[in-house]
Amino acid sequence: MKHFIITSFLCLSAGFAQAGSSNLKKLETQNEARGWQAVGRLDIANSGFCSGTLIAPDLVLTAAHCVYDRTTGAAYKPKDFVFRAGLREGKAATERRIVGVAAHDGYVPMEPLSAKNVSHDLVLLQLSRPIPFSEMDPFALHTDVVKNGPVSVVSYGRGRADAQSRQRECQMMDRQENVLIFDCDVTYGSSGAPVFSHLNGRGRVVSVISGMTQINGKKVALGMYLPPLIADLKSQLRSTSYTPSIKSAPKVRRLGVGKRRNNTGAKFTKLSGS
């Protein structure tokens, strides 16, 4: 599939609905946020942010499109990023600069939303210093079979940039090859947010939010199947000794500033909220 088209998803039930899904809720208090501090806000060169997840003491997982300038397609430098773990009301549990970036080679910057790009829209970021386990527990990755059913999402987003929000339950509706389809509530800034399975105790990261589109008139979120990608990204970081491994973007037509469309990534939110 080169681009998403509605006929790609005909195997979804005709009665597509948000069955069992809960409302998105801001984590207002420290008690509510406890246990989710390894999800943080990735601030990007004073131009916006994405959501990201600590998956090892020194590694953050987020969407690949977050590490490219959205107007030029050029790769940001590692020094342009700050990961602010557990950010709530302007205060992070801890924060780190980034010293290494490995975006998956299968992702093409600024290409229109497509099955191929969504399925490769993943990046690993190397922190300047590990975050000790005594301070924060990284989230494990889901390595079992991915099935339709309940998941949850913790994210930042437009209008809620200074604190995490959690949708306690939303649904994985379908899998099309290596693209996962969710009815989770996402918006600009939610890119890179972790999707959690809850099969055995603490949540495990089953996917990362790449973008959003509409199916049968309903907004859905799109993510990727992780297992084929993680080993590739770790290998990239090792082989480059934590130097950037992001390829330059090809020259392609892009949307003008301020233009919107239905098939769009849940990408950047300006820190001002505009």
Per-residue DSSP letters for 33-74? HTT-TTEEEEEETTTEEEEEEEEETTEEEE-GGGGB-TTT-P
Instruction: Check residue 21 and give its pLDDT.
Output: 73
Per-residue pLDDT, 32: 80
Single-letter amino acid code for the residue at 108: V
What is the reported pTM? 0.82
Say what the pLDDT of residue 20 is. Answer: 58
Tokens of 21: 């899904």
The pLDDT score that the predictor gives to residue 27 is 84
177 three-state secondary structure? coil
DSSP letter, residue 6: G
Cα 235 from chain centroid (whole Å): 20
**Region label for 191, one of left (φ > 0), alpha (ψ between -120 and 50) or beta (otherwise):** beta
What the block records as the tokens of 115 is 């099955």
Position 118 scores a pLDDT of 96
Question: At 116, which helix (H) or strand (E)?
Answer: helix 115-119
**Measured on CA atoms in the order 44, 205, 168, 267, is the torsion positive or negative?**
positive
The helix/strand count (H/E) of the chain reads as 3, 13
Q: Residues near 117 by Cβ (< 8 Å), separated by ≥ 6?
A: 107, 108, 111, 210
The β-bridge partners of 212 are: 221, 264
Q: What pLDDT is stored for residue 19 in this prediction?
A: 54
What is the rounded distance in angstroms from the CA atom of residue 48 to the CA atom of residue 52? 13
Domains and CATH numbers, the chain: 18-239 (2.40.10.10)
Q: How far is CA 179 from the centre of its chain?
A: 13
- State how far the Cα of 148 lies from the Cα of 13, in Å rounded to an integer: 12
DSSP characters over 212-260? EEEETTEEEEEEE--HHHHHHHHHHHHHTTTS--PPPPP----PPTT--
Bridge partners of residue 94, in order along the sequence: 85
Which pLDDT score is estimated for 199?
A: 73
- Residue 121: the pLDDT is 97
**Hey, what are 210's tokens?**
């790449």
Instruction: Give the residue ranges of the chain where pLDDT is below 70.
Output: 1-20, 200, 240-274
